[in-house]
Amino acid sequence: MKKIFLAILFSILTTVHINAQEAYSPQRILKSLQHFYAEFKGGDELIQKSVGYLVFPDVYKAGLVVGGEYGEGALVQQGSITSYYKMYSTSIGLQAGAQKRSLLILFLTKEALNRFINKEEWKVGVDGNVAVMNWSKGTDLSSLDIKKDTIAIVYSDVGIMANISLQGTVFQRMK
């Protein structure tokens, strides 16, 4: 069982490394946003309400008791990419599976965006609280009244993993 887990983790990490440059290219960011718009009606309106957002086109997560998650993406403000980020986390506990997904984090207030930008390394749950929204495909986002200043939306899931928490995830500006 341990050998199978290590083989899966190695193949995921190899794929992440090989595709690193492509993962957060402007074209890949745009394509990921197009997938988001296709999955959620009113997604474009929700993005327009934000003062900035992070797009992670491919986030890889795998675990078998010990797990890890990694992705690379971009911060977009006023329609332009302003910086690139990587995200990662590790976990230990009851977990099994592998997953590839896309992640969008919306900053709905200038204060929330500034708290994020002013940190070289931003940790969910320590430096900022993020409400992870678990909406099904086809949800109309334009009709929702969101009270949080930072929300995360997971979309384009492939694979099976037991949880979608971002607690303890670190976001770090890439140089």
Of 55, 45, 3, the closest CA to residue 142 belongs to 45
Buried b (16+ CB within 10 A) or exposed e, 60-70: bbbbbeebebb
DSSP 135: P
Q: With the CA atoms of 52, 144, 162 and 71 taken in that order, what torsion angle do they form, in degrees rounded to the nearest 10?
A: -10
Please tell me the pTM assigned to this model. Answer: 0.80
Contact 86, 120 (CB under 8 A): no
pLDDT score recorded for residue 161? 65
Q: Which residues of the chain have pLDDT under 50?
A: 5-7, 9, 16-18, 20
pLDDT score recorded for residue 135? 65
How confident is the model over 40-88, as pLDDT tens digits? 888 899 899 999 999 999 999 888 888 889 999 999 999 999 999 999 9
